[in-house]
Amino acid sequence: MRTTVGIIGAGPAGLLLARLLHNAGIESVVLESRDRAYVERRQRAGILEQGTVEVLRAAGAERMDREGLRHDGIELRFDRRRHRVDFPALTGGKSVMVYAQTEVCKDLIALQLKEGGPLLFEAEALAVEGAETDHPRVRFRHKGVEDVLECDYVVGCDGFWGVARAAVPAGRSSTFERTYPFGWLGILADVPPSHDELVYARHDRGFALLSMRSPSVSRLYLQVPADTDADGWSDEEIWTELERRFETDDDWTLRRGPITQKSVTPMRSYVHEPMRHGRLFLAGDAAHIVPPTGAKGLNLAVGDVVTFVRALTHRRETGSAELLDAYSATCLRRVWQAERFSYDMTTLLHRAPDATPFEDRLQLARLERIASSRAAETDLAEAYTGFPIG
Ligand code: APR
Ligand code: PHB
């Protein structure tokens, strides 16, 4: 098999990349180790920055405009108080959209199968070879049979546990990492969201988040110890704990409903530098992970693949490799801003197991500062609605 761009992984990064390349008239092949049903069901975040919405709209994901929910703010909840951050007022008109990653993936898969290049499910990449030559290859196994995909470029969109990153020699790369002593217990519940915007709550018992998937489905999270087994929490215990952490001085109440899904997500910050080695490019979770508190994971993946397609198009139109050479540095500037923001949001809102009373007071002072200073609030709103790509 031969193609121009070999793409490993059919998460949001790989699927969007294939779509953008198709629209630019560039051939690609996508190799995905799991089956289609698995990729379409995997629960992940669901907040799209305005720039992400624009990219997906231009790529043809039109169901998003019909079913996605535009959000003009979030609520911060602390000390039994509520503070709304108004995005358009603070950012000159920007907003975000609630549209689940599962739906983004379903839309992009349908488009790719209808009119794009090959998208092979159950095709596991085994290794990337020849990244330093003009003809990199991906060795893979499709439904039990080994094969080789010959490419001009390979893009590793294979997530944190993928194989692409391993093709960068250890001596040529650096990693930066932080793990957190807590995770998120996430639930999906068949009940209309109890608030029309997301609620991020800081509580002495730990962080809680109210989000949603649609006007009739709520998505809620609780901070739990890192090694928590989701099945160890009964539905009753989950609702009681959520109620406690969202408590306010006014008459706000949390609506309960049947829980249809429960799982625990670990929290990690991670960056691999550089994001390019020869003709191998890394994009999305293959190169970086953020804790989910800032809702940046999917949005970073979109920025990476847009940057790659711009650079490759530039190369084909002008003959200049300047933008391809700048790919890693261009992406990493935005990546580190998202790392900073995600870390700040995480440490602002979570209670570490060894938190001291001094640190508790500092958290409240940081929240108070956001609630009372337009400058501090603008900093949050700008980061949440997204930094420009490139
Ligand atoms: N061969 C083929 N496919 C692979 C391999 C492999 N060796 N290893 C992993 N994959 C596939 C996974 O099955 C998965 O479908 O690569 C895909 C990677 O997708 P994601 O993990 O979703 O990563 P990415 O596309 O970068 O998306 C980033 O989505 O996952 C969230 O938190 C993440 O929100 C962030 C965003
Ligand atoms: C979600 O809806 O899953 C979600 C929303 C906001 C976050 C993280 C996850 O910060």
Q: Residue 190's domain is classified under what CATH number?
A: 3.30.9.10
Are residue 65 and residue 112 in the same domain, yes or no? yes
Residue 192 lies in a domain: yes
Report whether residue 339 contacts ligand 1, using a CB cutoff of 6 Å.
Answer: no
Distance CA 94, CA 87 (A): 6
Distance CA 155, CA 166 (A): 13
Are residue 38 and residue 111 in the same domain, yes or no? yes
Dihedral angle over CA of 100, 74, 187, 259, nearest 10: -100
Distance CA 307, CA 323 (A): 9
CATH code of the domain covering residue 67 = 3.50.50.60
Average pLDDT over residues 238-256: 97
| Residue range of the domain that includes 281 | 5-71+96-176+268-345
Residue 60 lies in a domain: yes
Are residue 226 and residue 283 in the same domain, yes or no? no
Which residue has a Cα nearest atom 6 of ligand 2? 295
Count of structural domains, the chain: 2
Average pLDDT over residues 131-146: 96
For 246, the token pair is: 């969202």
Distance CA 282, CA 280 (A): 7
Are residue 16 and residue 51 in the same domain, yes or no? yes
Residue 340 lies in a domain: yes
Q: Residue 20 has what pLDDT?
A: 97
Sign for the CA dihedral angle at 283, 289, 294, 295 comes to positive
Are residue 50 and residue 148 in the same domain, yes or no? yes
Write out the catalytic residue numbers.
71, 200, 292, 296, 384
What is the CA(10)–ligand 1 centre distance, in A? 6
Q: Answer whether residue 18 shows pLDDT above 90.
A: yes
Residue 228 lies in a domain: yes
Are residue 238 and residue 253 in the same domain, yes or no? yes
Order of strands, sheet of 145-150, starting from the edge strand that comes earlier in the sequence: 123-129, 137-142, 145-150
Are residue 19 and residue 112 in the same domain, yes or no? yes
Q: Residue 45 has what pLDDT?
A: 85
- Counting ligand 1 atoms within 8 A of each CB, the residue from 34, 52, 158, 307 with the most, and so the one to mutate, is 158
Burial of 219 (0-12, 13-18, 19+ CB in 10 A): buried
Report whether residue 139 contacts ligand 1, using a CB cutoff of 6 Å.
Answer: no
Report whether residue 36 contacts ligand 1, using a CB cutoff of 6 Å.
Answer: no
Are residue 245 and residue 323 in the same domain, yes or no? no
Query: Do the beta carbons of residue 5 and residue 312 sit within 8 Å?
Result: yes
pLDDT tens, position by position, 49-95: 999 999 999 998 899 999 999 999 999 999 999 999 999 999 999 99
Report whether residue 256 contacts ligand 1, using a CB cutoff of 6 Å.
Answer: no
Distance CA 13, CA 241 (A): 35
Residue 372 lies in a domain: yes
Are residue 154 and residue 279 in the same domain, yes or no? yes
Are residue 235 and residue 284 in the same domain, yes or no? no
Percentage of the chain beyond pLDDT 90 is 97
Residue 82 lies in a domain: no
Query: Do the beta carbons of residue 287 and residue 165 sit within 8 Å?
Result: yes
pLDDT tens, position by position, 37-61: 999 998 888 899 999 999 999 998 8
Are residue 339 and residue 359 in the same domain, yes or no? no
Are residue 125 and residue 140 in the same domain, yes or no? yes
Can you list the positions of beta strands (E) in 72-173? 73-78, 81-86, 96-98, 119-120, 123-129, 137-142, 145-150, 153-156
